[in-house]
Structure formats: C-alpha cells, structure tokens
Structure 1
Amino acid sequence: MSDVVLITGTSSGMGLHAAVELARRGRIVVATVRDLARTDALTIAARAAGVEIDVRALDVVDHTSAARVVGEVVADHGRIDVLINNAGRGMVGTAEQLTMDQIRAQLEVNYLAPVNLTKLVLPGMREQGRGRILTVTSVGGVVGQPFADAYCGAKFAVEGFMQSLAVVAEKFGVQVGVIEPAAVASEFVANVDRPDNGGPYGALLGAYAARTAGAFANAQSATSAGVAIADAATSDEFRFRWQTSDAAAAFVGVSLADPDGERVLGFTRPWIS
C-alpha cells in the first residue's frame, strides 16, 4: 500500500522536484500550490517523469482552507501518511527596517501555517499509529543571520515547535522532523521581500547582499534539494534533523556546537564587513 504524501509549495523549486521524485518512487502525491494558474512547471515535470500528481490549490496561511484540503485528501485517498510543510517565504531587513505587519507575515507563512497543518494531520496519524511530518525550515532556523531577523525568527520558532512535539508524537508512531537546506537555486530569492532602501544600514545591507549573491551563485540545485526531501520522507531510518547537502550540514554545525553563541557571531560578522 503506497503512502499518501501531502506536500505544500510545489509550483516551483525544491517543492516541485520533491513532489515529482516522491511520485516516481511510487507514493501517492497530493501537491498544493497557492495559485492553480501556476502549475505548468509541475505538470510538465510530472509528465516528463511519467508520473501522476494530484494537484490542489492551497494558500497555507488560510487555516480554514487548509482544514478543507486536509479533509478532502482524507476523503479521496483514505488517509495522509506523510506531511511535508515546504511552503515558505523570505524577508530581508533588520529590526528597525521591518514593520510589525511584515514580521507577522513571516510568522504566518513560516511558523503558523506548518503548525496548523501539523495539527490537522496529527489526529489521523495518531489513530492509524503511524505517520511522518517533515517541515522544510532552513539553515536559517539554526544560525541567525544578519538582515534575516524576521525570517530566521520564524524558522527558529517552527524548529522549536517541531522539536518539542517530536518526542510526544513518536509515542503514537508519528515521526516529526525538520529539513534544513542552505542556498538553493530557485525562485525563492526572487520572491524575498526587501526594504526599499537601506537608510543608515545601507552599507551593511550592501555587504550582506554581495555575500548572499555569492552564496546563491554556488547554490545547490533545486532538483538535488528535492531529492534530499524525498529521501527524508521515504527513509527506513528516521532522525529529527536533516540537511539537503554537505554545505548545509556544515553550516548548521556552526550553531549546534556553540554553547555560548560566540561561534555563530564570529561566523556571521564578516558578512557585513
């Protein structure tokens, strides 16, 4: 019996490639997109791979729609075995440049949306005694980075939520984990919200932008990151924390072995020099 996988944020990038790869591995894939008018790339990729994907509309910040979609998937397919919270959005700006509405928007899409979907699928997984919930966070969910205050804050929050939930959920056969990509070549960067001008932070923001451009020039491909997500979703062995590349693993290691926090600050200070 094939697992039923619900994955969000699949119109492009690693979400698209993860959905196709999971279908190629024989899973029943329900892939959601915010706008059904933007499914051409997913449809073409699925056709090229010779697989079928059940594509549905979902704006993850609309919790009422999320409940409806989860209910419809269970009605149509009988259950949800794997949830992959992949949808997300970036934000560049330091605290003084950000409005509270912008900060709340980051929390809505990167924290509250995956929390809500997790809550929606948990009862069914608990009752069937098995399931896997994976949330695509970021190396920015482990290493706080300059001019990523709101984004990293939301990603830290969702990692804390999922790590706290993991040991309780596993008592009912439900595995909860996070997937941490580093820079991935995708439309994510183009969709990042940015301040109109740097103001007193202009020179620092310019240095950060130059460093980030260099990182994305050598980014992991979206195809490779999608395969890594599929690996985490289908692995016979499970762990809480997954990275999509060796570079991502090295990046998060800076923080995970940093009891006083100075190692991370020393790592990121040169980014704005």
Structure 2
Amino acid sequence: MEQTVVLITGCSSGIGLSLAVRLASDPAKIYKVYATMRNLAKKERLLDCVKDLHKDTLDILQMDITDQRSILDARDRVREKRVNILGMTRVMTYRNSVISCVCGCVRETEEQMSLIFLHQQQFLYMCTAYRMSCALDFCLSVVFMLAVCNAGVGLMGPLEAQSLATMRQILEVNLLGTISTIQAFLPGMKAQGHGRILVTGSIGGLQGLPFNEVYCASKFAVEGACESLAILLQHFNIHVSLIECGPVNTDFLDNLQRAEPGDSSLQQVDAHTRSLYDTYLQHCGMVFQNAAQDTEDIVKVFLDAIQSTNPAFRYYTNNALIPLSSPKISALDGSQYIRNMSKIIFSTNGKGEQK
C-alpha cells in the first residue's frame, strides 16, 4: 500500500504539531508527513514528540507562507520525492489559545486523487471563542495532495490605535499567505482531477467581533475565497471544507498583537472606548477559560472531515458556537446579531455576572 504524503505548515507547536505527530504515528504507516515551519530552530519540540520513532513517516522542512520563493522551494522539494505533500501551519499564542494554519499536500503515483487541505491559522474567537487547527487528507493512493494554510495572526485593540503597517501585515499573513499557497499548488491539483481542500477557519471569519476589525476582515476574506473556490472546484472533483474553530488550549496569545491597557497607542483613544475595551478583555479571558478545547479535539474533527466520502463545506469544532451565528440568518438585516453580541460582551463584569 502506497503512502499518502502530507505536508503540514506551522508544525513547531499547537495543532500543526499535534496533527503531524498523529498522522506520522499511524500504526499502518498510511502517511508520509512533511512537517514544515517558518523557523527550523523551533523543530526540537516536534522531534521530542516523535523521539526518532518515525524516520520513515516524518520529515521536517522549512516553509514561510508569506514568502513566495519559500513556498515554491518547498513545492519543488516535495515534487522531487514524487510522493509529496505540502502543508502549512502557523501558530500564534495567546496564553493558552492558538491560531494555527495547516496546509497539506500529497502526491502519489497514478490514481488521480488530489487533496488540498487548507488549515487556516486562525485567531481565537475572543468573544465566544477563537481557535484554529490543521488537517490533512487520508487517501490511500493520492497523486497530488495539497494543503494550504492561511497563516493566522491576531490583532486586537481599538481601530484608532492600529498603524497602517500593522494592518497590512495582518492581511499579508492571514489572507495573501493562504492565497499564495493555493496559487502555487492548485494547477497541479486540477491536473489530477481529484482533490480536497481543508481550511482551518475561525468563528471570527463568520461574524464580526469588536476590537478585532482587521483580523475579522482578513478571516471574512478567507471564507469568501474558499466559498468561491468551492463553487468552481467541484467541476474538478476537488472538495473544499472549512473547519471552524473556537478557543484551543495551546500557546497562542503570547504573540498576539494587541493593545494593552496603559499602552501609549491607547492614549489617542477616547475614554469610553478604552473602558469598553477593558470590559472586552475581561470577557475574552472568561470565555477562553470556560470554552477552550484541547488540540486533540480539533484533530479529531479534521480526521472526520478527511475521512468523509462526501465532505461538508463547513465543520464546527464546538457546537456551542453555532447558535451565535443563527441571528445572522434569521434576521438578515443584521440588527439582531449586533444587539445580541453587544449584550453578551459588554453586559458582564468579567466574572460572568450581569452589570
């Protein structure tokens, strides 16, 4: 039985790491995993997890989804092996939460079956939960399996406090990084005549969150890109799926770009906005404490999507988040959702008590 070659990005920690270890540890050795990361100096954690037990199922490569040359180099290295996979996962940490992106691409021999799996690195859904994950495809004989990750970077704080350079960086990583990766591998997938794209999404890409305007804009854009591709790619027998996540217990918020109380950038913001931001930060901490999932819970959802013979377009890792989106459908003018979310976020004192 030939191996399915999977390339995952963002494997230095979080979901990318967990997924790589899970697939490479498959007892049947179905997968050949290429775990990629932007900085290979951070590979020790992954090596510690596998403990040299998976020399025939795991390799580690360098790949930066914001660098087109790096993407192409990784793609070419995968193709040199004939049985290839390209995957991207990026992780940002915020205390115990993670935004990850995973891309996996597999290339086999003749059975024309491509899989593109996009693990969108995502920001935690700070209002009801943010999270993210990664995944790969599982076919036994795959000609070219590609997973593209929307590297996710979090940006939180009053819009007036954000610089243009910072906002551009968020769009560069979250949106253009994902699209650039897809661009590099999509022609090969189309040529195979079969495939699957799994994208790790975020609840922040489905509904707006205060103080996350630019982040949500980037995630909304990724959702739109994936939905547009899904309509087109069905004509190539390529399935696109989004894995919508909330908070996850991994390192995420340490690298989250956010305005902290007392920062000089907040001094230009009016007092009422600063007060609302303080309330929002309390709400985020409470939500993450109560709703965060473990990485293994996310990996299981990815495996369910991967193994489905008729994959859905969206999978939710936490069903508790679904009701929050229902007002957007039942009240199409958007007013009900806005009122509900404002009440949920700003009517608590950070301890879950109503003011």
TM-score, length-scaled by structure 2: 0.71
Bigger shift: residues 73-82 or 113-122: 73-82
Secondary structure (helix, strand or coil) at the match of 2:76 reads helix
Structure 1 Cα separation of the partners of residues 4 and 329 of structure 2: 33
Q: Residue 265 of structure 1 is aligned with which of 338, 343, 350?
A: 338
Q: Could you tell me which amino acid in structure 1 is paired with residue 318 of structure 2? A: S
Structure 2 Cα separation of the partners of residues 180 and 217 of structure 1: 19
- The 1:69–1:84 alpha-carbon spacing in structure 2 relative to 1, beyond 3 Å, is same
Counterpart in 2 of 1:205? 277
Tell me by how many angstroms 1:254 deviates: 4.8
Structure 2 Cα separation of the partners of residues 86 and 222 of structure 1: 18
Task: Please give the residue correspondences for 1:122-141 in structure 2 after superposition, counting only pairs within 5 Å.
Answer: 122-141=186-205
Q: Residue 218 of structure 2 is aligned with which of 154, 157, 167?
A: 154
Counterpart in 1 of 2:45? 41
Matched, 1:17 2:91: no
Matched, 1:69 2:143: no
Q: Could you tell me which amino acid in structure 1 is paired with residue 69 of structure 2? A: T
Structure 2 Cα separation of the partners of residues 116 and 74 of structure 1: 18
Structure 1 Cα separation of the partners of residues 64 and 19 of structure 2: 19
Secondary structure (helix, strand or coil) at the match of 1:169 reads helix
Aligned length: 273
Q: Which has the higher helix share?
A: 1
CA deviation string 1:54-75 (max 9, x = no partner): 2111121111211111121122
Q: Could you tell me which amino acid in structure 1 is paired with residue 66 of structure 2? A: V
Alpha-carbon contact 1:142-1:256 (below 8 Å) kept: no
Secondary structure (helix, strand or coil) at the match of 1:4 reads strand
Structure 1 Cα separation of the partners of residues 175 and 332 of structure 2: 25
Q: Could you tell me which amino acid in structure 1 is paired with residue 21 of structure 2? A: V
Alpha-carbon contact 2:158-2:277 (below 8 Å) kept: no
Name the structure, 1 or 2, with higher relative contact order (CA <8 Å, separation 6+).
1
Q: Alpha carbon RMSD of aligned pairs, Å?
A: 2.1
Structure 2 Cα separation of the partners of residues 182 and 6 of structure 1: 24
Q: Which has the larger radius of gyration?
A: 2
Structure 1 Cα separation of the partners of residues 39 and 71 of structure 2: 14
Tell me by how many angstroms 1:2 deviates: 3.0
Task: Please give the residue correspondences for 1:72-151 in structure 2 after superposition, counting only pairs within 5 Å.
Answer: 72-78=77-83, 79=107, 80-85=144-149, 87-151=151-215
CA deviation string 1:2-50 (max 9, x = no partner): 3222222121112211222233342222221111111222222234986
Q: Could you tell me which amino acid in structure 2 is paired with residue 162 of structure 1? A: C
Secondary structure (helix, strand or coil) at the match of 1:160 reads helix
Matched, 1:169 2:233: yes
Secondary structure (helix, strand or coil) at the match of 1:137 reads strand
Counterpart in 2 of 1:195? 259
- The 1:87–1:53 alpha-carbon spacing in structure 2 relative to 1, beyond 3 Å, is farther
- The 1:215–1:208 alpha-carbon spacing in structure 2 relative to 1, beyond 3 Å, is same
CA deviation string 1:186-205 (max 9, x = no partner): 22222110125344232111
Matched, 1:214 2:281: no
Q: Could you tell me which amino acid in structure 2 is paired with residue 272 of structure 1? A: F
Counterpart in 1 of 2:302? 229
